[in-house]
Amino acid sequence: MAIETAVESNLSTSNAHGPTPGDVIVTDNLWKTYEMGDQQVHALRGVNLRIRHNEYVAIMGPSGSGKSTLMNLIGCLDSPSQGRYWLNGHDVSELNDDELARIRNKEIGFVFQTFNLLARATSLHNVELPLIYNGTPAAARTERAKSVLESVGLGSRMMHKPNELSGGQRQRVAIARALVNKPSIILADEPTGNLDSKTGDEIMALFDELHSNGNTIVLVTHEPDIAEYAHRIITIRDGVVAGDHLSSRIRK
């Protein structure tokens, strides 16, 4: 409780002075406003966040609170309307789409609820794709993709296509694809949302392993049980950070 109170009292701290060594994600007064005809929707209204290397963070909040908008900004899929975002110490808030795409490919591994795999491609090819985009030579690419598939327990499923795999196996392929570029953050939006609870727990065990291997993980979930796998839980409400505390797993 004491720790929780200390963190809560720190909630709206400005990050205007920017990143310090070891910070992977720093946002200062991040706003995102969508223009809908003559209406404006303020999806984010001044988010200040600081996430350090090898943190394991869950972002929770009700539907419409701004979670996906925040993930899109953190993942360099979109730019803020106002405020600043430093990724690994670099200000990325004013980059153009091409520059964002390059950073995204290098720094971010995405895992989605619906897996988002190429249906007609083998596991191996799906995992090789990010390496094809960044021009890794064929032999190195195949070797790297195979080794990552083995590391997520799919060594015997390399030549299977998504419809020949279970949901849990598909999500493992997606996780291997997210890892293949050795990104500085893994961003997962409801990664267990399409899985039964046993398979979901297996996927969360894999995230635990990735975290132990030194990865920085940010996951969005509306399920409290899933959020408790993380070490820190940030709650978003009406486009602002409404809570930031250690998970009960850590407080124990």
Q: Phi, psi at residue 231, to the nearest 5°?
A: -100, -20
Task: Report the distance separating Cα 11 and Cα 13, nearest Å.
Answer: 6
Where does this chain touch ligand ADP (CB under 6 A) — which range of 22-30, 66-74, 96-104, 171-179? 66-74
Q: Of 19, 66, 80, 83, which lies in the binding site for ligand ADP, with binding defined by CB under 6 A?
A: 66
How many Cβ atoms are within 10 Å of 194's Cβ, its own excluded? 15
**Piece of 22-30, 63-71, 93-101, 168-176 that binds ligand ADP (CB under 6 A):** 63-71
Comparing CB distances to ligand ADP, the nearer of 153 and 243 is 243
Identify what 199 binds: Mg ion, ligand ADP, none; CB under 5 to 8 Å per kind: none
Per DSSP, the chain holds a count of helices (H) and strands (E) of 9, 10
Instruction: Look up tokens 């720093």; give the residue.
Output: 26
In the complex with ligand ADP, the residue whose CB is nearer, 66 or 183, is 66
Task: Decide if residue 237 touches ligand ADP (CB under 6 A).
Answer: no
- If you search the block for the tokens 């609820």, which residue do you land on? 113
Which among Mg ion, ligand ADP, none contacts residue 61 (Cβ within 5 to 8 A by kind)?
ligand ADP
Residues 6+ apart with CB under 8 A from 36: none
Query: Among the candidate windows 23-31, 59-67, 175-183, 200-208, which touches ligand ADP by CB under 6 A?
Result: 59-67
CB-nearer residue toward ligand ADP: 16 or 41:
41
DSSP letter (8 states) at residue 164: G
Q: Answer yes or no whether residue 68 interacts with Mg ion by CB under 5 A.
A: yes
68 vs 199 by CB, closer to ligand ADP: 68
Q: Tokens in use for 93?
A: 């808030």
114 is an interface residue for ligand ADP by CB under 6 A: no
Which residues are at the interface with ligand ADP (CB under 6 A)? 34, 36, 41, 43, 61, 63-69
